[in-house]
């Protein structure tokens, strides 16, 4: 019996130690670019699992052998920078508490997934439902990613329709990809207030590269720079998602499929790290207070997140609660859509709308300029 107890304790100590080491490596992600060592990005994907494991170990040691409690607790303290970016510790607010304050600014960031353009069924209904959802929010500034618009007859001219229906007359569109000069894809900024200047900055090269876009808006006497972006995705196709599902259900080891998935993930991690460096440098040079929106395709434990955020405020961490999932697929812990501001702004509220119309959830922040 004594041997069994010693063996069990030794086993759990070993597992706890392995979890500690992996967790500490994940906490190095803000400082280590995937371009230097890309495997660290894979480890950050498991950050929520590693954190939960450490909490469970702490509780178990507290109950059964308290002198080992420091083993899981110390790495959490060391990695608090990553922990505090992952969880918002605010008390959940009720919807009625999100009343707009006089003189405040309502900002939305939303990956609209081309308004359901490629959905097999009900794409027209999906678009109409998304329009109704967005219109209901009465936004002052809206940043869309994965945006589609067309000038073809009997197609959707979303660029013009949104301006008209949402009463957002000012806009800037990247039009990163187009087909025959009639169908366009990219990111777009809409504003209720005049745009003084707008432009785009290429974040990478190649046929599928997208742009950072910005628009300097004039609100009363204040000029505010709005920045919007859609960073490199994994570009998984339907076959990749099927392979992931089979591997997750242990139906197939799929070595070739797994290697293909890993290669795509590696390319995306390295690509996003380069994009993040470009975005961070652009933000630092801004002559005006900034509001940064976007689908980063990366979690709060990543190099991408910390590089772009820099000294900016994360609206979710200021006024949100929990883990704030924004992506509906793959894992329940993926927060990859963000609204950042510099300290010129006071963040009054933050909310996420649970909607299945896109594979992303829209996020909204109410902001005030602090004089």
Q: What is the mean pLDDT of residues 61-66?
A: 90
In the chain, what are the domains? 2-86 (no CATH), 95-369 (3.60.10.10)
Q: Give ∠ CA 339-185-183 in degrees, rounded to 5.
A: 150
Q: How far apart are CA 41 and CA 37, in angstroms?
A: 8
pLDDT at 248 over 60: no
Counting residues of the chain whose pLDDT is more than 70, the rounded percentage is: 88
Predicted pLDDT at 135: 95
Query: Residue 75's pLDDT band (boundaries 50, 70, 90)?
Result: very high
Query: Residue 180's pLDDT band (boundaries 50, 70, 90)?
Result: confident
Predicted pLDDT at 154: 83
Predicted pLDDT at 185: 95
Predicted pLDDT at 182: 87
Could you give the C-alpha distances from 183 to 142, 175, 177, 322, in angstroms and in order? 21, 9, 8, 39
Place of tokens 């992952």: 86
Predicted pLDDT at 328: 86
137 Ramachandran zone, left/alpha/beta (phi>0; psi -120 to 50): alpha
Q: What is the mean pLDDT of residues 344-352?
A: 95
Q: Spell out a b/e string for 274-301, using b for 16 or more CB atoms within 10 Å of the CB, else e.
A: bbbbbbbebbeeeebbbbbbbbbbbbbb
Per the prediction, the chain carries an average pLDDT of 90
Predicted pLDDT at 103: 79
Contact 201, 212 (CB under 8 A): yes
pLDDT at 252 over 60: no
Counting residues of the chain whose pLDDT is more than 90, the rounded percentage is: 72
Torsion of CA 14, 17, 18, 19, to 10 degrees: 120
- Three-state DSSP at 192 gives coil
Q: Give me the sign of the Cα torsion angle 280, 282, 285, 289.
A: negative
pTM over 0.75, yes/no = yes
């Amino acid at each position: 019996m004594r041997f069994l107890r010693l063996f069990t304790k030794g086993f759990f100590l070993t597992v706890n130690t392995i979890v500690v080491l992996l967790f500490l490596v994940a906490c190095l992600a803000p400082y280590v670019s995937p371009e230097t060592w890309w495997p660290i990005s894979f480890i950050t994907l498991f950050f929520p699992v590693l954190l939960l494991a450490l909490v469970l170990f702490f509780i178990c040691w507290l109950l059964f052998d308290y002198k080992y409690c420091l083993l899981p607790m110390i790495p959490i303290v060391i990695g608090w920078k990553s922990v505090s970016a992952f969880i918002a510790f605010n008390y959940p607010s009720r919807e009625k508490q999100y009343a707009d304050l006089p003189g405040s600014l309502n900002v939305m960031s939303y990956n609209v997934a081309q308004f359901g353009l490629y959905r097999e069924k009900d794409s027209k209904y999906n678009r109409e439902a998304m329009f109704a959802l967005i219109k209901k929010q009465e936004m002052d500034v809206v940043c869309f990613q994965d945006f589609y618009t067309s000038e073809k007859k009997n197609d959707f001219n979303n660029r013009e329709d949104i301006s008209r229906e949402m009463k957002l007359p000012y806009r800037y569109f990247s039009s990163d990809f187009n087909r025959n000069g009639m169908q366009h894809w990219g990111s777009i900024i809409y504003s209720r207030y005049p745009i003084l200047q707008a432009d785009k900055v290429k974040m990478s090269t190649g046929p599928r590269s997208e742009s950072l876009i910005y628009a300097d808006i004039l609100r009363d006497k204040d000029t505010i720079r709005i920045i919007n972006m859609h960073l490199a995705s994994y570009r998984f196709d339907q076959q990749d998602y099927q392979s992931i599902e089979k591997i997750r259900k242990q139906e197939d080891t799929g070595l070739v499929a797994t290697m293909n998935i890993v290669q795509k993930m590696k390319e995306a991690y390295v690509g996003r790290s380069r994009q993040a460096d470009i975005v961070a440098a652009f933000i630092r040079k801004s002559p005006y207070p900034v509001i940064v929106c976007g689908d980063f395709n990366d979690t709060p434990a990543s190099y991408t997140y910390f590089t772009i955020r820099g000294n900016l405020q994360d609206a979710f961490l200021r006024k949100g609660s929990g883990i704030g999932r924004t992506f509906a697929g793959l894992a329940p812990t993926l927060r990859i859509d963000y609204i950042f501001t510099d300290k010129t702004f006071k963040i009054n509220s933050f909310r996420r709308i649970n909607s299945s119309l896109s594979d992303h959830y829209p996020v909204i922040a109410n902001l005030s300029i602090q004089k």
